[in-house]
Amino acid sequence: MLDAVVVGAGPNGLTAAVELARRGFSVAVFEARSTVGGGARTEELTLPGFRHDPCSAAHPLGINSPAFRALPLERYGLRWAHAELPMAHPFQDGSAAVLSRSVGETAASFGPRDAGVYRRLVEPFLPRWDTLARDFMSLPSTALPRDPVTLARFGLAGLPPSTWLMRRFRDERAKALFAGLVAHVMAPLSGFATGAVGLVFALAAHARGWPVVRGGSQVLSDALAAYLKDLGGAVHTDYEVKRLDDLPPARAYVFDTSPTALARIAGFGRYYEHYRYGPGVFKIDYALDGPVPWRAEEARRAGTVQVGASSAEIGTALRAASRQGRAPERPFLITVQPSVADPTRAPAGRHVFWAYGHVPSGWTGDLTDTVERQLERYAPGFRDRVLARATAGPPEIAARNANYVGGDIACGAASGLQLLLRPRLSLSPYTTPHPAVFICSSATPPGPGVHGMSGHNAAKAVWRRLRQP
């Protein structure tokens, strides 16, 4: 009998398996797809030689993850590749606000009226960032805070809605950039604790940047799987699990799945019926014959580029997708240009690029023209650079990854109390009604993103169970 079986080989499932194997437990992972990776994969979606990340591409939480930083993943091929700027937020006049490794450069891009405000907002936390990140990403109860005073100060700054925090800024440049940071988790700007979301992304950039993985996000997943195998764990792909009886006997079962799938497989009935899924995304992967012709020079040097004219426009787009059930007329776009940092992603002189906008859950329309008209406002001539495109709306995204219910790449709405207390209101979010069954997906704290911390935290609950006589 195995000590633990993990269902789902995304970053959280693989991290949970590694943490258990490191402590001497026998572990096997079962994955429905033919390759490991979940939201961290790499595929040739358009043309031969163009390597795209179908979901996550930039990894500000990955490079800052306490879980990943404790593992020897570089030994298995993981290399981070940095663009000159982690992120840029261009405007139609050709200017841009930037999120730089330098707090000073970032503050200066906001203009003199907001530079001091930004410095006062982030500089108190940067010297304690590693401890703060560990404490924040271990909430609510997997470990006692190492620095409770700093965590409390961060809570005072971040728990209110981001709209409150943005009132500190006087000019639109800072407000738009910060609104875009919050929109990465598809949360309405007025939601509880959304200020913390923006602060975490900003601090992550100043601490270690927003890199891509050299060679593609698949390299990170493959490194986790290779390390697991060296620890004695096993990985089985092309193995779909429909009920617990499909799995070998084990002392514990750990699910890197949506709560919906877990309830169906484990027979939990309506246990997660109140869990809410958020809006979906419409994503386009591009093969380009050259770099994106951004009007703003800063955007040409950035790994990630946010596209939204103002905080009001961004807020309107989020409300349309999450509350009004319609696709926005001017979508807020998150775009990543991996080949700016990693030339191995495309043939010489060519580039890969992706963009996505938020749409209602399960939306079946085509947003391609709307997305490209928005891009043309900031990068005139963009369409002339397109060699090929691969589009995916919510149905296609959900078909690629069963955790993305309705096209929700956050595996659950990151709004209200569900941003922090997921998948249910509980101080033990990784446990379930069955004492031997656990959940470790992005539906658990600290939530969405490729960071492995949900798996790391869940593994603590599992090994406490396995140590019991």
Note the pTM of the prediction, 2 decimals.
0.95
| C-beta separation of 26 from 415 below 8 A | no
pLDDT on residue 141 = 59
CA 46 → CA 52, 387, 435, distances in Å? 8, 9, 45
CATH topology of domain 2-48+61-79+215-275+413-466: FAD/NAD(P)-binding domain (3.50.50)
**Domain ranges across the chain:** 2-48+61-79+215-275+413-466
pLDDT on residue 143 = 65
For 123, residues 6+ apart whose C-beta sits below 8 A from its C-beta are 103
The parts of the chain modelled with pLDDT lower than 50 are: none
pLDDT on residue 420 = 77
pLDDT on residue 142 = 59
pLDDT on residue 180 = 95
Strands 250-255, 2-7: parallel, antiparallel or unpaired by DSSP? parallel
Evaluated on CA atoms 321, 200, 213, 379, the torsion sign reads positive
pLDDT on residue 417 = 78
pLDDT on residue 343 = 97
> What is residue 358's three-state secondary structure?
strand
